[in-house]
Amino acid sequence: MNSPVASDDSQEESQAHHAGGSLAKLVVGAVGVVFGDIGTSPIYAFRETFVGHHRLIVDQAHIYGVLSLIFWSMMIVVTFKYVTIIMRADNKGEGGSLALLALINRHSEGARWSAPIVLLGVFATALFYGDSMITPAMSVLSASEGLAVVNSGFGPWVVPLSVGILVGLFTIQSRGTAIVGAFFGPIMLLYFGVIAVLGTIQIIGNPSIAWALNPYHAVAFFLYDPTRAFLALGSVVLAITGAEALYADMGHFGRKPIGISWLFFVMPALMLNYLGQGAMIVANPAAIVNPFFLLAPDSIRIFLVLLAMLASIIASQAVISGAFSLTQQAIQLGFIPRMRILHTSESAAGQIYIPFINWALMSMVLLLVLFFRTSSNLGAAYGIAVTGAVFIDSCLLSVVLFSLWKWNKVLSVAVLAIFFTVDTAYLASNLTKIPDGGWFPLLIGLIIFTLLTTWARGRKLMMERLREAAMPIKVFINSAATSAARVPGTAVFMTSAAEGVPHALLHNLKHNKVLHERVILLTVKIPDVPFVDPDNRCKMEDLGQGFHRLVLKYGFMEEPDVPAALGSITNCGPAFKMMDTSFFLARQTLLASSRPGMAIWREKLFSWMLRNAESAMEFFRLPTNRVVELGSQVEI
């Protein structure tokens, strides 16, 4: 197998990965990182509901109905579903679709429904990549359009400025975000404070707008105008885009700081702004062209535009960093080929940079900006990926409630009925936007889903084929240890299987006809937990005659460092010295065949992915001058 990483479902003890610091510091950090996406939604969500692809009459009944839908969507989806329930389903402190999927896998091995659940989790991951392309384009475009509100002469410069901001944002990723990240929290605190004050000023002028929070207005909207109310959900959902980020970023800040910052700061600020926009539109329907920026008086509107631009950059940064983190998890869990991962901080393990993902995202984001050109046009593509991921999270949550937590069935069904009703309504409404641009995230999701499942299936088939031809290690040691010449030093043979003889060892003996004094058969396993206790990292087995089998375990949020792990081993003879150690890797060349397993086109796709995967030498941090690669051919 080309990748010496094997999955493992054992329940390893691991440690949480929450950022250090006081509760107040964590709350501020969460405001700066977690809520960038949902925080920039007021720039376009309320406006798009009225002037988007399914226009609404700008009157009091529709304004109250939309505001009520926004408020109760936040309450049901964000507050009740994510903050109150789903965030309790952490995998040793980590959240997100892949972490939840790993948690379910660990507790449901062999269950009949596990395969469909895995596919759902993988598809949610694929949809996230579509969302991570649209979010930067939508956020930066909508913020830049505020310049045209300040002065119509800026209109032609909106797209070029957005392109420049996005190119600059992706270009600085390789330098890390530690320095810039220190300003995220204060900037977002200022942003939320400003939009709350601007909204409050309008509410004071029309305090009756607060009645829009009454769920009666949402129900009445559906009763007297059901078709438009249903279609409006496709734009209302823009107000909760980024809700899934609360769960995905839980490992960095913890459930409590995120919950506090949402309930006591972010949500009140957002609703004050939405209500302020509504109050202004009731008095002046013409302001619906861009109510967010028109909330500000002429004298400070440019300040609001600049602040919104900073918030949109922060929202984009959070999504880009999320894509890096998700890719690392997917690599470790065996859904994506190895990629080059660079650290951008010596102290923060989560600060990583993946060049391929960065430039691929930038290319697609710029393509979106140049193709759609306005945030209103892009709004048609926005929402499907989010609603799809939110719907899948409800499916995963149903497994958690019934199988892991074993809640009362009546209570579970009641809670899930609410979630599925809301999620299905939003998803169905967004599906009507497919012809206008909603096809884009679905197409991206389908392509990435195909790549992820092809890689996972191909790895499984390759390991099965290699296992079929594997020689029992005891037989090999008894026959080879005494007949082959032994040379000084240590040989480490990387293998994905924790049994049998590695192909690299067979090839080395066949061609070089020697064995080292100490032979280590090394397998790196990734359990379904984010972090593994360093005390449980290594498991050494003495096979006799100078042969040892070593299993190293890393969580899916960790990065393997083989030389460092070898340096910590004390129960295997003399200490490991890299200058006396040679690492042998097997590099397989795939031959597509008609054997049952995968379609020929998928076998060729897997072969291409395998050829372009990052070298195991760099991925496992092996010393470049101590590595020997031996090739072989495998049919799958």
| 415's tokens | 């809670």
What whole-number distance in Å separates Cα of residue 590 and Cα of residue 612?
Answer: 13
Q: Across the chain, what does the average pLDDT equal?
A: 86
What's the pLDDT score for residue 413?
94
pTM: predicted TM-score of the whole model, two decimal places: 0.85
The answer, yes or no, to whether residue 346 has pLDDT greater than 60, is no
What's the pLDDT score for residue 514?
86
| 137's tokens | 């384009």
The answer, yes or no, to whether residue 324 has pLDDT greater than 90, is no
**Residue 366 host element (H or E):** helix 355-372
Indicate the pLDDT class of residue 283, thresholds 50, 70 and 90: very high
Length of the chain: 636
Place of tokens 């397998």: 523
What's the pLDDT score for residue 181?
65
**Which CATH number is 25-457's, of 1.20.1740.10, 1.10.599.10, 3.40.50.720, 1.10.150.20?**
1.20.1740.10
Mean pLDDT comparison of 74-78, 108-112, 516-520, 552-556, highest-scoring range: 74-78
What's the pLDDT score for residue 223?
93
C-alpha dihedral (106, 255, 386, 343), degrees to nearest 10:
-80
The answer, yes or no, to whether residue 534 has pLDDT greater than 90, is no
The answer, yes or no, to whether residue 180 has pLDDT greater than 70, is no
Indicate the pLDDT class of residue 36, thresholds 50, 70 and 90: confident
Report in angstroms the alpha-carbon separations of 571 from 298, 492, 574: 73, 16, 8
**Boundaries of every domain in the chain:** 25-457, 471-635
Instruction: Tell me which residue of 441, 177, 193 sits closest to 314, measured CA to CA.
Output: 177
How confident is the model over 106-121, as a mean pLDDT? 74
Condensed to tens digits (0 to 9), the pLDDT of residues 589-608 reads 777 666 667 888 888 899 88
How confident is the model over 311-315, as a mean pLDDT? 91
**Backbone dihedral region for residue 486 (phi beyond 0: left; psi -120 to 50: alpha; all else: beta):** beta
Q: Which one-letter DSSP state was computed for residue 195?
A: H
> Chain-centre distance of CA 96, in angstroms?
7
Instruction: Tell me which residue of 507, 562, 558, 615 sits closest to 2, measured CA to CA.
Output: 615
What's the pLDDT score for residue 115?
77
Task: Among 55-59, 226-230, 483-487, name the one with the lowest average pLDDT.
Answer: 483-487
- 631 vs 561, more confident: 561
Pair 277, 295: CB distance under 8 Å: yes
What's the pLDDT score for residue 9?
41
In the chain, % of residues over pLDDT 90:
39
Instruction: Tell me which residue of 195, 216, 214, 219 sits closest to 280, measured CA to CA.
Output: 195
Indicate the pLDDT class of residue 16, thresholds 50, 70 and 90: very low
> Chain-centre distance of CA 388, in angstroms?
14
What whole-number distance in Å separates Cα of residue 35 and Cα of residue 249?
Answer: 10
Condensed to tens digits (0 to 9), the pLDDT of residues 145-163 reads 999 888 888 888 999 999 9
SS3 for 291-352 is HHHHCCCHHHHHHHHHHHHHHHHHHHHHHHHHHHHHHHHHHHCCCCCCCCCEECCCCCCCCE
Q: What angle do CA 257, 260, 266 make, to 5 degrees?
A: 110
What's the pLDDT score for residue 12?
39
Indicate the pLDDT class of residue 350, thresholds 50, 70 and 90: low
Taking every pair of Cα atoms in the chain, the longest distance, rounded to a whole number of angstroms, is: 94
Task: Among 123-137, 246-260, 462-476, name the one with the lowest average pLDDT.
Answer: 462-476
Collapsed DSSP state (helix, strand, coil) of residue 4: coil
How confident is the model over 489-517, as a mean pLDDT? 85
